[in-house]
Amino acid sequence: MSLIVQKYGGSSVQSAERIKRVAERIVAARKAGNDVVVVVSAMGDTTDELLTLAQAVAPVPPARELDMLLTSGERISNALVAMAISALGAQARSFTGSQAGVITTSAHGKARIIDVTPGRIQAALDDGAIALVAGFQGVSQDTKDITTLGRGGSDTTAVALAAALDADVCEIYTDVDGVFTADPRIVPDAQQLNTISYEEMLEMAASGAKVLMLRCVEYARRYEVPVHVRSSYSDQAGTLVTGTIADQSAKEIAVEQALITGVAHDRSEAKVTVTNVPDHPGVAAKVFRTIADAEIDIDMIVQNISAGMDGRTDITFTLPKADGPRAVSALEARKSEIEFDQVIYNDHVGKVSLIGAGMRSHPGVTATFCEALATADVNIDIISTSEIRISVLVRDTELDNAVRALHTAFDLGGDTEAVVYAGSGI
């Protein structure tokens, strides 16, 4: 008998009708002989509605109270799913994140899971019941206050529970069929992947693929939880995220084995160039400390090699567009200290990434990569690589062409045209 953790998102439970459909799926899993734990997000737009209500009474709601408020959404949806399951004749019990033993830091709105002690969940399973757990929340170890986990919180809750309960699989039900070789809305012949390694999924997520959040994949990797990303609208198998590339290196990579896994793209970044900084130790540190002090994350970095006799250079980096204006202000405020000429801000850029464990053992991938882009007349602005990923920054208007060019160059397409659901968030 297996222990399965299932997670359903807000759109899966946005109405009484949808809740009943989800309950049927859950009961079917139980009737197949499995122990079943389910994590449910808040219904539909509940979280946004609660946020609007909060802002109507306070322009800047205190973080602790916002967490108390927002966690009501998951409480409601989980209790309703438990009721729907009972109406089908199966036993179900719902629990808050706190009751489920999700222990977190005290950072309201972006708490991190410290530990999961699912005693009451296990007791419910031992009683033969299906356990529902409110996602996106936990309880602070220090203050005993309720906390929320930030974006991707419900997926992370599900994976964390799966790890703590030593589940056989964590099924993430979503509105896409699985993980694809590229976004099917850009690349019509994108293929669904049967499996993908943790590291490749991490790179996909970090490179713009939205189907799973980075933190959730990282948690799965650390505790070796197989994650099955699948559609809540069908019974088809999705994509299984499992295995580390370390497992693969010992084996010889067969000729038929996919060299490359997929192409991801990201429109959410902007580029900042700090021009004409003195080219000596400590300058880069000042630039990045300034950005770090503003609590902004940096992605790609380029420092041009100083060519001229003047001992000056440019420093370029990318960051989330949402943080762009703040980063520029922070740098301008320290202009005399850093001694730059100007800060150039460009938010008309996009990032395209090629991901694949196979590139480690195949030289020439970078060459093929650049040739494909050149043929498509796409200019490379910045290039950045890891062991299993090549990323470039290009003009945003050329992003789609770049994705398609790479997808074709590495033979990622197939005959089946991908089905794209309305409103799917790939």
**Binding-site residue ranges:** 7-10, 47, 74, 174-175, 185, 210-211
- Which helix (H) or strand (E) segment holds residue 333: the answer is helix 324-333
What are the structure tokens assigned to 168, written together?
Answer: 């056989």
Angle at 409 between CA 407 and CA 410, to 5 degrees: 70
Cα–Cα distance, 199 to 417 (Å, whole number): 27
- 10 Å Cβ neighbour count for 224? 11
CB of 83 to a copy of itself, least distance (A): 4
Binding region for a copy of itself (CB under 8 A): 16, 19-20, 23, 50, 53-54, 56-62, 64-66, 68-69, 71-72, 75-76, 78-84, 86-87, 92-94, 99, 120, 144
Q: Minimum Å distance from CB 62 to a copy of itself?
A: 5
Q: Closer to a copy of itself by CB, 103 or 382: give it.
A: 103
Shortest reach from residue 64's CB to a copy of itself, in Å = 7
| Residues that constitute the known binding site for substrate | 47, 74
Going 293 to 296 to 300 to 305, the CA torsion angle's sign is: negative
**Shortest distance, position 91 Cβ to a copy of itself, whole Å:** 9
Beta-strand pair 130-134/312-320: unpaired
CB nearer to a copy of itself: pick between 81 and 390: 81
Q: Quick count: other Cβ atoms within 10 Å of Cβ 351?
A: 26
Which residue's CB is nearer to a copy of itself, number 82 or number 258? 82
Q: Are 11 and 44 in contact (CB under 8 A)?
A: yes
Alpha helices in 191-342 (DSSP H): 198-206, 214-223, 245-249, 283-293, 324-333, 335-338
Nearest CB to a copy of itself, comparing residues 61 and 320: 61
Query: What's the closest the beta carbon of residue 14 comes to a copy of itself, in angstroms?
Result: 12
What is the closest distance, in whole angstroms, from the C-beta atom of residue 41 to a copy of itself in the complex? 15
Nearer to a copy of itself, 153 or 358 (CB): 153
The β-bridge partners of 269 are 320
User: Residues within the annotated binding site for ATP?
Assistant: 7-10, 174-175, 185, 210-211
Nearer to a copy of itself by Cβ, of 87 and 292: the residue is 87
User: Which residues, listed in sequence order, are joined to residue 231 by a DSSP beta bridge?
Assistant: 174
Per the DSSP assignment, residues forming a β-bridge with 230 are 173
| Separation CA 47–CA 41 (nearest Å) | 9
CB of 93 to a copy of itself, least distance (A): 7
> Closest approach of Cβ 97 to a copy of itself, in Å?
13
Are 127 and 32 a contacting pair, CB within 8 Å? no
What is the rounded distance in angstroms from the CA atom of residue 405 to the CA atom of residue 124?
A: 52
In this structure, what are the phi and psi dihedrals at residue 117, rounded to the nearest 5 degrees? -120, 85
Which CB atom, from 69 or from 205, has the smaller least distance to a copy of itself?
69
CB nearer a copy of itself, residue 87 or residue 285: 87
Angle at 148 between CA 147 and CA 154, to 5 degrees: 135
CA dist., res. 154 & res. 82, Å (int) = 17
What distance in Å separates the CA atoms of residue 85 and residue 87, rounded to the nearest whole number?
Answer: 5
Pick 96 or 181: Cβ nearer a copy of itself: 96
Alpha carbon 411 to its chain centroid, in Å, reads: 25
3-state secondary structure of 313: strand
**Closest to a copy of itself by CB, 24 or 341:** 24
Q: How many residues can be counted in the chain?
A: 426
Write down the least CB distance from residue 262 to a copy of itself, Å: 38
CB of 132 to a copy of itself, least distance (A): 9
Given its phi and psi angles, is residue 26 left (phi above 0), alpha (psi -120 to 50 degrees) or beta?
alpha
